Structure 1
């Protein structure tokens, strides 16, 4: 492992002696390491069987978020998607929450959402966890969300056996009538794309950082809906967001439909533990 770390650091431009290497928690997909040299401390992620462009796209998402000058992200030093030796080298971010960390996070995410792209979707295919996401650029948010997100998960569910019988019928009916709830013309905000509570952390002086993006342009309410699926966000976060960028009146009506995508992802990745939540939403909208 140290040889691989040395290779990664050399590519990052750090030839100093390695002082410390420690394996750390970093999700279920990658091996993750804290590395300290005489020059810097790093967070290095490895994936032995990374899909093509896996870390390139993560680095691109971090850089796209950084370009908004709204929310802090770890600096990316280098990456490789070489077969059997894929890695991503970033700065090590460490700190403790301050009294206003949650408010800063809400305000900074809202500021990122106020950065507007030209189309919905993305010009590269990406990943959500280890699942591939087909993208493309669309003028219609409804068309992108229906055809690239929900239909893709329906098809994957059919192939994996998670989308059968009444569930499949309701899903197909929902897709036929999605325009009743999901807007067509809405501004394409810069979105993190995978903003569950484990994908942000506190840095120096309590400054919030976001990590592990699955970047896209789209309806900002899609992002906010996901923050409510698994928790990890305080009332201060939501109030600060609302103060900067108030939510549209349609949010509560569309929120479960935006949460549906992420629940379908989890259903297809982890199985029937998420089936009841999917069925509840499908029954509400396609009864």
Structure 2
């Protein structure tokens, strides 16, 4: 692994001596390290067998967010998707959450959501965790969400044998009637795409940073729904967001349908432990 780290540092333009390497918190998919050299400090993620374009898609998502000028992300210093030696080199971010951090997070996320793309979806396939997310540009949010998000997870769940029988029948029925709850004429906002509580952090001065995006353009309520699924975001966060960019009055009617996507992802990744929550959403909408 040290060979890969040295290669990553060289790609970032740092050929100085390594002073310290230690494991860093960074999820279960990659091997993550804090690396300090005579020149700088870095956060480096490595993957010995990464999927195609794995780190380049993450780097691209971070750049899209950065380009809005609304909320901080770590600077991308280098990346490679080379087989057996893939890596992503980011600046090292260090700080403590303050009483204002989540207020800033809510306000700045709303500001990011105010930026819009030309189409829904994304030009290339991406990943959520290690699961591929098929993409493509769509004029219509409903069609994108139905076909590229929910249907894709349905097909994977059938393959994994976790969506069968009544569950499959209800999924089919839900997809046929999805337009009863999901609108078509939605602005394609810039979205992080995987915004749970572990994918943001406090930096210097308590400033919030977004990390590990699975970027797309889409309905901003899809993002907010996921923040509510597993918790960890304060009332100050939601208040600040709504003060800047009020939610649609019908948001709560479709919130579980947006959370369903992430529950299906977890069902496909981790199995039946998430089956009950999936079934609860399906029963709510199709009986």
Provide the rounded CA distance (Å) in 1 between the counterparts of 2:123 and 2:244: 28
2:268 maps to which residue?
268
Task: Give the distance between the partners of 1:18 and 1:192, measured in 2 at CA.
Answer: 33
* CA drift at 1:99: 1.4
SS at match of 1:214: coil
Q: Could you tell me how far 1:98 is from its partner in structure 2?
A: 1.2
- Paired residues for 1:137-216 under 5 Å: 137-216=137-216
1:106 to partner: Cα distance: 0.3
Q: Deviations over 1:145-193 (max 9, x none)?
A: 0000000011111111111111111110000000000010110000000
How far apart, in 1, do the equivalents of 2:151 and 2:3 lie? 43
Counterpart-to-counterpart distance in 2, 1:208 and 1:167? 39
Q: Once the 2 structures are TM-superposed, how far is the Cα of residue 100 of structure 1 from its aligned partner?
A: 0.3
CA apart distance, 1:3: 2.3
Unaligned residue ranges in structure 1 (runs of 5+): none
Aligned positions of 1:10-159 closer than 5 A: 10-159=10-159
Distance in 2 of aligned mates of 1:241 and 1:257: 21
Matches within 5 A, 1:208-287: 208-287=208-287
**What is the alpha-carbon distance in structure 2 between the residues aligned to residue 201 and residue 97 of structure 1?**
8
Q: Normalising to structure 1: TM-score of the pair? A: 0.99
In the TM superposition, residue 43 of structure 1 has moved relative to its aligned partner by 0.2
Q: In 1, distance between residues paired with 2:16 and 2:98?
A: 33
Following superposition, the deviation at residue 40 of structure 1 comes to 1.0
Using the TM superposition, give the Cα deviation of residue 89 of structure 1 relative to its aligned residue in structure 2, in angstroms. Answer: 0.3
Q: Partners of 1:168 and 1:3 in 2: how far apart?
A: 47
In structure 1, distance between residues paired with 2:15 and 2:50: 26
Q: How many residues align?
A: 287
Offset of residue 135 of structure 1: 0.3
> Deviation at 1:201?
0.3
Offset from partner CA, 1:203-223 (integer Å, 9 cap, x none):
000000010000000000000
Runs of at least 5 residues in structure 2 that lack an aligned partner in the other structure = none
- Tell me the alpha carbon deviations over residues 24-60 of structure 1, each in whole angstroms, 9 at most, x when there is no partner: 1210100000001121100000001100100000000
* Equivalent residue, structure 2, for 1:5: 5
Q: Which runs of 4+ in 1 moved over 3 A?
A: none
SS of residue paired to 2:229 = coil
Secondary structure, in 3 states, of the residue corresponding to 1:142?
helix
Q: Distance in 2 between matches of 1:238 and 1:207?
A: 17
TM-score between both structures, scaled by the size of structure 2:
0.99
- Partner Cα separation in structure 2 for residue 194 and residue 276 of structure 1: 22
Shift of 1:2: 2.3
